[in-house]
Structure 1
């Protein structure tokens, strides 16, 4: 019996030692259905394959950047994900560490735009969602083709606009501003044209409100993203996504290595895993995000609902540094506009 007890204690000690030696990575995600899928497709398989524990913190991009700044002397994250171009600022401030493309085996198969930021110290783009026009195909006789179609009187008061506090809303507005002659530094043309729509549109601030407006508030047309067109369809609404003829802006999701942290080799391995064609194809299938790995293969039905293949190279990306420099003034002007 004493021998058995000694063996039991020995095994328990070995087990505790193994747990103590298990590496831990702390990452952020964005909550909701996206975070659930993030865990299912990336974090949980990576944990099992690499004997690592991943702590997931639900924090959106802007707040993550603020936390990185506050924690600069003692950072808590190993990998951070951004969707609003914050990686440009983070790299400039030394908050994230550069990654050589050669350190990520899957980087060799990324489209050029997805890895060009790595030369500036930013993380690679691992997913994309395009911003275009959503419409109810049962209510809209003439589907929108142009950003200027939002001003067609035939849509009446069935328009949905998104607040500029939302990345999708900001990019949609910047594209509207562009087609009416504006620029990032000059947003007056866009603001003046949006003023014409205020009396016949609903303004939302969060993604779930898109589904609610199409389902309950008789929305017909909205400027929003391809992934949420899928969400709304899954909810039973006959909504389609259209790329406007003047161009399609997009949200670029980046995975970034935090500077000054241990386990950087393991963190890079996690980032590389998110770039694999299998993971990216699964994200496209489940939530209609566009892959950035050219080897990702999509079923025709899925491919028809996302920007896919070489077409992703034609997506519009507003300079994140310029957007960041002008964001505060633009948001203040927007708030004054919609408050009237």
Structure 2
């Protein structure tokens, strides 16, 4: 009994020491960031994933000023590499597939937030160069005025009598990931997209494949019956137009889950402010900010307020989603997709 009490006391003491060290390190980071006074981001505009809320908190909590220049993931990495010691950006937000590219190009520096252990292993770099803050999963959005039975699976989609919008396959990441999601559901993977190509070929033969841009304007005008798109876009568009007019669902026979990660510029002039930004993004409040912008937080141990949770789909919808595991295979398949799509899908379009 005495030994047990000693063990319990030791564990409690070690935990207290660890917590104290974390708090001390975090406070040191805050102090260093406040001395820098500002953080300059790329690809993190106010309107995307409610970054507006994060920047407002960084200002009100820490007095950190902020400015963003919006650009694509590839442009962000190129900017970090080109400017080097004359860096004008401290932090960026890039798609999952670009995280490894940034590390390979040597333009990132690591930082693990204090909530690091709450981030799934598949969604973070072991050295802390990147970690997904929020996810996107390929979903269906259906116009309830035009579609009597909104699809819940790829199988439902094939049996329907409505047109299906997939976007610009071979060009748009959202459309390419729609193909990968279908492949997962039908026994394929990153290296084998044939099941998905065959599936979309059947839709084309039925005259049911549409290439109308799945924009909020086209959805509102009723020009789209069913579209395949990221859940955060679908949910956002649904609520912008009229929540009752649309059904959003994750295909229950399989989908792909991806996401976005911050990368901290190796050459940042405000590195501590950038690290503090990442720290805040992965805090409970930072994760809630993202959810308010329809971006599903990566940390599952954060309790979302009821009104924000109501904006998102329930966790049960995500039981059969798959992260990309073989990035080399996916990169190769994606490069071949435009030709495969042309030869096996578009040729069948009625």
Distance 2:185 2:255 in 1: 11
Contact 2:252-2:317 at 8 Å conserved across structures: no
Distance 1:31 1:239 in 2: 27
Distance 1:313 1:25 in 2: 38
Instruction: Name the SS for the 1:97 alignment partner.
Output: coil
Q: 1:242 and 2:256 equivalent?
A: no
Residue of 133, 140, 151 corresponding to 1:144: 151
Report how many aligned residue pairs link the two structures.
307
Q: 1:87 and 2:96 equivalent?
A: no
Q: CA deviation at 1:339?
A: 6.2
Contact 2:44-2:68 at 8 Å conserved across structures: no
Contact 1:130-1:307 at 8 Å conserved across structures: no
- Supply the RMSD in Å over aligned alpha carbons: 3.0
Distance 1:248 1:314 in 2: 7
Change (3 A) 1:299 1:179: same
Distance 1:183 1:263 in 2: 41
Which position in structure 1 is the counterpart of 2:224? 219
Change (3 A) 1:201 1:190: same
Q: 1:160 and 2:165 equivalent?
A: yes
User: Residue deviations 1:63-106, cap 9 Å, x none?
Assistant: 2233334345654421111124200111122221222x3xx223
Distance 2:192 2:215 in 1: 28
Contact 1:291-1:308 at 8 Å conserved across structures: no
Q: 1:118 and 2:125 equivalent?
A: yes
Q: CA deviation at 1:54?
A: 2.1
Instruction: Name the SS for the 1:34 alignment partner.
Output: coil
User: Residue deviations 1:264-316, cap 9 Å, x none?
Assistant: 2221111111112122223323x322112334222445435535669868641
Residue of 211, 214, 217 corresponding to 1:203: 211
Change (3 A) 1:159 1:309: closer
Residue of 285, 296, 303 corresponding to 1:297: 303
Which position in structure 1 is the counterpart of 2:90? 78
Residue of 251, 276, 284 corresponding to 1:277: 284
Which position in structure 1 is the counterpart of 2:116? 107
Change (3 A) 1:32 1:255: closer
TM-score (norm 2): 0.76
Change (3 A) 1:73 1:315: farther
Which position in structure 2 is the counterpart of 1:46? 58
Residue of 323, 331, 334 corresponding to 1:327: 334
Residue of 30, 34, 39 corresponding to 2:48: 34
Which position in structure 2 is the counterpart of 1:288? 294
Q: CA deviation at 1:132?
A: 1.5
Instruction: Name the SS for the 2:322 alignment partner.
Output: coil
Which position in structure 2 is the counterpart of 1:194? 200
TM-score (norm 1): 0.78
Which position in structure 1 is the counterpart of 2:18? none
Residue of 168, 179, 188 corresponding to 1:182: 188
Q: CA deviation at 1:241?
A: 1.4
Which position in structure 1 is the counterpart of 2:6? none
User: Residue deviations 1:102-148, cap 9 Å, x none?
Assistant: xx22334434444xx23155312111122222112343232312123
Distance 1:313 1:338 in 2: 29
Change (3 A) 1:33 1:202: farther
Instruction: Name the SS for the 1:196 alignment partner.
Output: helix
Instruction: Name the SS for the 1:56 alignment partner.
Output: strand
